[in-house]
């Protein structure tokens, strides 16, 4: 029996059209814009200045504190600018701009294709390399990985869960990575498992990826410390709290870290990055993304250099005409999956460490329907994986009743979008709840 | 510059819509509609057509010209109310009485509160109770005036049918519930009553004409229930808790004295119990939203129904019971779900 989380959830069509498209090496762009704000926490501080020559993999920014991460050059060339540049939302963030010149890598980086199985580094060394390589959670939140691997007082890690659920429709980058680099992911996972103190290792994969489940099962067959857990197809299974519930049957309390249940969750992509960093000395400068849509000619998986303009992927994937305009059928570009991704407003914005893909939608697919009256069907309540009452939170949010919002745990909302997805009256539940939640959290911080 | 559509996540939506839900309810009501037309012919069709047309037209006029908004009849909820109202009336209802029912259901019970989703009471039931109190004679006259589909060629085995071996041409008089209410009050026992009146459970299951249109066939209602469950329009919580409560309540009474109380099956198959449990009590707007609230709601309906049936003045109590519990829904909605964080467990 496959496992799954116990509360709420929905079953959107998985639309994983690009699942059988191998990862293609994306060409190096003429210019990259590398944001200093690619992780949760304090933005990194640039250590290069205009005119400097940098090699691929060279450190260009240092972390600004413990909850922060360094940034490395994804190409070799000359630093053209260190200044605020607009990201995919059009918001200006401090960035290092590099004009590409060839592709000269740091000598320390091992670029050979052989898989290095033997783990020689001690857990302490592994931890140091992870934090020096700028590795962040590649599942979407971009939380610095070394912070999650740091022991907290009174909390004993028992399990490392590798997240291969990839429950967002359309996205296939994690799946391709598991199919093409399963061994590396396991080696990276094994190293994190050792850092956590020889805890149990679990890989959670949804049932709609049977080949990945089979492959991982075969590779871990001889390792008692590893277990592959097949999961039912259900959104938001890849959410940290839902995954822990699905795999271990433990629930993360409000305002608590997942580690309070004894579980540390890392994305499979992160495990791959850890492998590259420790075994190949390669910092986090590349990642894999999916470009997908319901149009069969626009369905690709690419390995990209961080800082490449979004426009280039859309153009290469076949979503743009020769003049570089999106085909008219596509009205929306989503950065990430369709359930939680943000809409791109600046196509010239760069891709980041944790970019997982771009999904293009036609008007018919994505345009919101006219809002009707609530018929109190309670479908939003049935769909909510955090057992909140979205209809109630929505009304309280509109009325601005902050105290009652807190009583009804608005802060527990994980913004998965299940409520809005299920609402037959097309009421913008999550829009209002998201606002109310941010106000609630701000008030909490003030206190 | 490319024109990009910007709206927050989620960027997809399920196919669900209010109209789709209402359409499913209409489909689920079709077996009951067809059975009533089969048994009573044109007169049933007339009641249905007047009721649906009246409800839809009235809602359109009110929204368009009184509230001055875009018409809402496209969501099909007025059609559902129209069909439910018709199924709650006797076949012999005069057209003007049906129209009065429409005015009460749509005009008073629904639109006065602000339309779909805002009403406190089930519109069709408010209309039914209004008519029951205002026109007691017409509302308890179960005579079938004429039927174009005379069930002369009824093909079920004869032993399933009434004493005459065929369905009566026209039936007048009380419903089974009315018969036992009066009979027991006059000091008769269940045994003599069933000998005199030949209550056939098979009759009740497949179709009988004593009662309002929608009560005609329990099987048709169950077919509708299966469809609603299959399409996930409703959850079984409310119908189940009503049925179980009624079965337990009547079962205990029956066991204490079978001569004075009807058995549980009798109570489940008669009157509008299943029609109410499946189609009226499950109305989203007028029922609670949390599972626990739904259970309390269903149990409440079961108890009130049985109290009225056994000790009340009316032979039938489902309508009153549902309306009574409707009034408690805002309170029941205050029942909070078990919070997520209270469930921390080390499994």
Q: How confident is the model at residue B153 (pLDDT cuts 50, 70, 90)?
A: very low
Shortest Cα distance, chain B CAs vs residue A321, angstroms: 12
Looking at the structure, tell me whether residues B113 and B209 fall in a common domain: no
Task: Using CB atoms, pick whichever of B4, B12, B77 lies closest to residue A333.
Answer: B4
Residues of chain A with CATH 2.40.50: 26-100
B-interface mutation test, from A10, A375, A383, A390, most B Cβ less than 10 A away: A375
Pull the structure tokens for residue A141.
């939140």
Q: Do B8 and A431 touch (CB under 8 A)?
A: yes
Task: Using CB atoms, pick whichever of A252, A376, A387 lies closest to residue B339.
Answer: A387
Nearest chain A alpha carbon to B18? A424
Pull the structure tokens for residue B235.
């959850």
Task: Using CB atoms, pick whichever of B5, B289, B337 lies closest to residue A387.
Answer: B337
B-interface mutation test, from A310, A378, A388, A434, most B Cβ less than 10 A away: A378
Output B228 or A447, whichever has higher pLDDT.
Answer: B228
Residue A378: left if φ>0, alpha if ψ -120 to 50, beta else—which one? left
Residue A45 pLDDT > 80, yes or no?
yes
Q: What is the mean pLDDT of residues A162-166?
A: 95
Nearest chain B alpha carbon to A422? B14
Looking at the structure, tell me whether residues B200 and B289 fall in a common domain: yes
Output A41 or B187, whichever has higher pLDDT.
Answer: A41
Structural domain that includes position B310: 169-332
Q: What is the mean pLDDT of residues A329-350?
A: 95
Task: Using CB atoms, pick whichever of B17, B118, B343 lies closest to residue A424.
Answer: B17
Task: Give tens-digit pLDDT for A297-309.
Answer: 999 999 999 999 9
Backbone angles phi, psi at A205, to 5 degrees: -130, 135
Residue A27 pLDDT > 80, yes or no?
yes
Q: Which residues of A fall within a CB distance of 8 Å from B17? A: 369, 424-426
Among residues B119, B139, B159, the one where a domain terminates is: B139
Q: How confident is the model at residue A437 (pLDDT cuts 50, 70, 90)?
A: very high
Q: Which residues of B fall within a CB distance of 8 Å from A329? A: none
Distance, in Å, from the CA atom of A217 to the CA atom of A223, rounded to the nearest integer, reads: 10
Contacts with B36 (C-beta within 8 Å, 6 or more apart), sequence order: B44, B48, B87, B91, B213, B214, B216
**pLDDT given for residue B345 in this prediction:** 44
Signed CA dihedral, B281, B286, B290, B293: sign only: negative
**pLDDT given for residue A128 in this prediction:** 96
DSSP tag of B65 = I
Task: Using CB atoms, pick whichever of B116, B343, B347 lies closest to residue A248.
Answer: B347
Task: Give tens-digit pLDDT for A131-145.
Answer: 999 999 998 789 999
**pLDDT given for residue B341 in this prediction:** 59
Residue A223 pLDDT > 50, yes or no?
yes
Q: How confident is the model at residue A287 (pLDDT cuts 50, 70, 90)?
A: very high
Output B15 or B347, whichever has higher pLDDT.
Answer: B15
- CA distances in angstroms from B312 to B256, B304, B325, listed in the order given: 19, 10, 17
Q: Which residues of A fall within a CB distance of 8 Å from B123? A: none
Cβ–Cβ under 8 Å, residues A327 and A321: yes
Q: What is the mean pLDDT of residues B258-278?
A: 88
Nearest chain A alpha carbon to B344? A251
In a domain, B79, yes or no: yes
Q: Which residues of B fall within a CB distance of 8 Å from A251? A: 340-341, 343-345
CB of B334 within 8 Å of any CB in chain A? Answer: no
In a domain, B130, yes or no: yes
**pLDDT given for residue B159 in this prediction:** 36
Q: What is the mean pLDDT of residues A68-77?
A: 96
Which residue is associated with the tokens 């890392």?
Answer: A266
Q: How many domains does chain B have?
A: 2
**pLDDT given for residue B339 in this prediction:** 72
Q: Which residues of A fall within a CB distance of 8 Å from B114? A: 373
| CATH (residue range A26-100) | 2.40.50
**pLDDT given for residue B145 in this prediction:** 40
Pull the structure tokens for residue B160.
């399933």
Looking at the structure, tell me whether residues B249 and B100 fall in a common domain: no
Task: Give tens-digit pLDDT for B49-93.
Answer: 999 999 999 999 999 999 898 888 999 999 999 999 999 998 888
Please report the beta strands in chain B, taking only residues with DSSP state E, as ranges in sequence order. none
**pLDDT given for residue A446 in this prediction:** 77
Q: Which residues of B fall within a CB distance of 8 Å from A339? A: 9-12
User: Predicted ipTM?
Assistant: 0.88
Residue A402 pLDDT > 80, yes or no?
yes
Q: Do B341 and A251 touch (CB under 8 A)?
A: yes
Which residue is associated with the tokens 């039927």?
Answer: B147
Output B138 or B149, whichever has higher pLDDT.
Answer: B138
Residues of chain A with CATH 3.40.50.11540: 17-22+119-280
Q: How confident is the model at residue A154 (pLDDT cuts 50, 70, 90)?
A: confident
My answer on whether omega of the bond before A236 falls inside 30° of 0, hence cis, is: yes
The correct answer on CATH 3.40.50.11540 for the domain covering A17-22+119-280 is: yes
Residue A331 pLDDT > 90, yes or no?
yes
Looking at the structure, tell me whether residues B233 and B108 fall in a common domain: no
Output A414 or B145, whichever has higher pLDDT.
Answer: A414
For a pLDDT cut of 90, what percent of chain A falls above it?
A: 88
Shortest Cα distance, chain B CAs vs residue A232, angstroms: 19
In a domain, B151, yes or no: no
CB of B68 within 8 Å of any CB in chain A? Answer: no
Residue B343 pLDDT > 50, yes or no?
no
Task: Using CB atoms, pick whichever of B116, B341, B343 lies closest to residue A375.
Answer: B116
**pLDDT given for residue B37 in this prediction:** 86
Cβ–Cβ under 8 Å, residues A21 and A179: no
The correct answer on CATH 3.40.640.10 for the domain covering A286-366 is: no
Backbone angles phi, psi at B342, to 5 degrees: -75, -10
In a domain, B154, yes or no: no
**pLDDT given for residue B174 in this prediction:** 61
**pLDDT given for residue B202 in this prediction:** 66
Q: How confident is the model at residue B199 (pLDDT cuts 50, 70, 90)?
A: low
Task: Using CB atoms, pick whichever of A326, A341, A387 lies closest to residue B2.
Answer: A326
Residues of chain A with CATH 3.10.20.600: 286-366
A-interface mutation test, from B3, B13, B117, most A Cβ less than 10 A away: B13
**pLDDT given for residue B166 in this prediction:** 41
Task: Using CB atoms, pick whichever of B11, B17, B343 lies closest to residue A361.
Answer: B11
Q: Which residues of B11-39 are buried (b: 16+ CB within 10 A; e: fewer)?
A: bbbbebbbeebbbbbbebbebbbebbbbb
**pLDDT given for residue B188 in this prediction:** 79
Shortest Cα distance, chain A CAs vs residue B21, angstroms: 8
Residue B158 pLDDT > 50, yes or no?
no
Q: What is the mean pLDDT of residues A367-371?
A: 89
**pLDDT given for residue B204 in this prediction:** 66
Q: Which residues of B fall within a CB distance of 8 Å from A341? A: 9, 11
Q: Which residues of B fall within a CB distance of 8 Å from A363? A: 5
Among residues B89, B119, B139, the one where a domain terminates is: B139
Residue B175 pLDDT > 90, yes or no?
no
Q: How confident is the model at residue A188 (pLDDT cuts 50, 70, 90)?
A: very high
Task: Give tens-digit pLDDT for B96-110.
Answer: 999 999 999 999 999
Task: Give tens-digit pLDDT for B280-311.
Answer: 999 999 999 989 999 999 999 999 999 999 99
**pLDDT given for residue B210 in this prediction:** 61
Q: Which residues of A fall within a CB distance of 8 Å from B122? A: none
Q: Do B16 and A342 touch (CB under 8 A)?
A: no
Residue B187 pLDDT > 70, yes or no?
yes
Output B14 or B186, whichever has higher pLDDT.
Answer: B14
Looking at the structure, tell me whether residues B222 and B105 fall in a common domain: no
Residue B155 pLDDT > 60, yes or no?
no
Residue B176 pLDDT > 90, yes or no?
no
**pLDDT given for residue B104 in this prediction:** 97
Output B337 or B288, whichever has higher pLDDT.
Answer: B288
Shortest Cα distance, chain A CAs vs residue B219, angstroms: 26
Residue B146 pLDDT > 70, yes or no?
no
Burial of B133 (0-12, 13-18, 19+ CB in 10 A): exposed
**pLDDT given for residue B214 in this prediction:** 77
Average pLDDT, chain B: 84
Shortest Cα distance, chain B CAs vs residue A426, angstroms: 8
In a domain, B90, yes or no: yes
Across A140-154, A324-338, B112-126, B329-343, least confident range: B329-343
Q: What is the mean pLDDT of residues A195-205?
A: 95
Distance, in Å, from the CA atom of A4 to the CA atom of A196, rounded to the nearest integer, reads: 25
**pLDDT given for residue B162 in this prediction:** 40
Residue A160 pLDDT > 50, yes or no?
yes
Q: Do B339 and A248 touch (CB under 8 A)?
A: no
Q: Which residues of A fall within a CB distance of 8 Å from B6? A: 332, 343, 345
Contact pairs from chain A to chain B, CB under 8 Å: 152
């Amino acid at each position: 029996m496959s496992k799954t989380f116990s509360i709420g959830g929905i079953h959107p069509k998985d639309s994983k059209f690009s699942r059988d498209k191998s990862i293609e090496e994306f060409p190096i762009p003429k210019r990259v814009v590398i944001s200093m704000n690619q992780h949760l926490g304090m933005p990194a501080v640039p250590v290069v200045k205009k005119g400097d020559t940098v090699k691929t993999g060279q450190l260009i920014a240092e972390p600004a504190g413990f909850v922060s991460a360094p940034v490395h050059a994804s190409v070799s060339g000359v630093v053209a600018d260190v200044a605020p540049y607009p990201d995919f939302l059009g918001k200006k963030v401090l960035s290092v701009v590099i004009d590409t010149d060839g592709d000269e890598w740091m000598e320390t980086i091992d670029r050979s294709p052989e898989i290095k199985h033997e783990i020689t580094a001690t857990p302490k060394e592994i931890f140091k390399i992870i934090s020096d390589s700028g590795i962040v959670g590649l599942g979407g939140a971009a939380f610095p990985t070394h912070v999650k691997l740091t022991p907290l007082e009174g909390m004993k890690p028992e399990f490392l869960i590798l997240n291969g659920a990839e429950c967002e429709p359309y996205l296939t980058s994690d799946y391709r990575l598991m199919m093409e680099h399963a061994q590396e992911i396991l080696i990276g996972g094994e190293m994190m498992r050792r850092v956590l103190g020889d805890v149990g290792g679990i890989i959670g994969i949804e049932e709609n990826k049977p080949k990945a489940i089979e492959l991982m099962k075969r590779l871990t067959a001889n390792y008692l410390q590893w277990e592959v857990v097949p999961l039912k197809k259900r959104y938001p299974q890849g959410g940290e709290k839902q995954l822990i519930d699905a795999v271990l049957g433990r629930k993360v309390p409000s305002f608590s870290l997942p580690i309070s249940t004894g579980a540390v969750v890392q994305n499979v992509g992160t495990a791959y990055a850890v492998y590259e960093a420790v075994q190949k000395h390669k910092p986090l400068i590349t990642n894999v993304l999916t470009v997908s849509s319901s149009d069969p000619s626009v369905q690709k998986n690419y390995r990209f250099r961080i800082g490449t303009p979004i426009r280039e992927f859309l153009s290469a994937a076949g979503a743009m005409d020769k003049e570089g305009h999106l085909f008219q059928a596509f009205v929306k570009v989503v950065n990430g999956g369709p359930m939680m991704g943000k809409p791109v407003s600046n196509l010239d914005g760069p891709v980041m460490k944790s970019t997982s893909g771009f999904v293009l939608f036609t008007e018919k697919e994505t345009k919101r329907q006219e809002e009707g009256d609530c018929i109190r069907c309670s479908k939003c309540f049935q769909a909510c994986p955090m057992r909140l009452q979205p209809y109630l939170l929505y009304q309280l949010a509109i009325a601005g009743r902050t105290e009652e919002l807190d009583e009804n745990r608005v802060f527990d909302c994980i913004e998965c979008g299940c409520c809005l997805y299920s609402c037959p009256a097309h009421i913008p539940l999550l829009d209002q709840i998201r606002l109310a939640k941010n106000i609630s959290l701000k008030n909490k911080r003030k206190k | 510059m490319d024109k990009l559509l910007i709206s927050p996540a989620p960027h997809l939506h399920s196919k669900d819509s209010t109209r789709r839900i209402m359409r499913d309810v209409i489909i689920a009501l079709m077996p009951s509609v067809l059975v009533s037309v089969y048994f009573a012919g044109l007169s049933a069709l007339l009641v249905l057509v007047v009721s649906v047309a009246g409800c839809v037209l009235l809602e359109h006029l009110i929204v368009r010209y009184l509230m001055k908004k875009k018409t809402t009849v496209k969501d099909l909820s007025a059609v559902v109310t129209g069909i439910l109202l018709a199924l709650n009336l006797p076949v012999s209802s005069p057209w003007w009485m049906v129209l009065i029912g429409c005015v009460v259901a749509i005009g008073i019970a629904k639109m006065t509160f602000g339309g779909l989703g805002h009403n406190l009471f089930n519109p069709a039931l408010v209309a039914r109770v209004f008519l029951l109190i205002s026109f007691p004679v017409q509302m308890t006259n179960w005579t079938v005036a004429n039927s174009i589909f005379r069930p002369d060629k009824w093909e079920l085995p004869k032993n399933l049918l009434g004493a005459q071996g065929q369905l009566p041409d026209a039936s007048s008089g009380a419903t089974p519930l009315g018969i036992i209410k009066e009979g027991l009050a006059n000091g008769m026992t269940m045994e003599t009553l069933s000998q005199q009146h030949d209550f056939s459970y098979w009759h009740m299951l497949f179709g009988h004409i004593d009662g309002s249109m929608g009560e005609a066939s329990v099987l048709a209602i169950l077919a509708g229930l299966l469809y609603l469950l299959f399409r996930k329009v409703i959850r079984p919580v409310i119908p189940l808790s009503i049925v179980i409560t009624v079965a337990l309540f009547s079962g205990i009474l029956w066991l204490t004295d079978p001569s004075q109380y009807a058995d549980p099956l009798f109570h489940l198959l008669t009157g509008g119990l299943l029609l109410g449990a499946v189609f009226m009590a499950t109305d989203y707007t007028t029922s609670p939203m949390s599972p626990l609230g739904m259970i309390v709601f269903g149990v409440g309906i079961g108890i009130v129904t049985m109290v009225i049936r056994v000790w009340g003045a009316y032979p039938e109590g489902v309508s009153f019971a549902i309306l009574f519990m409707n009034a408690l829904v805002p309170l029941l909605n205050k029942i909070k779900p078990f919070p997520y964080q209270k469930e921390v467990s080390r499994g």
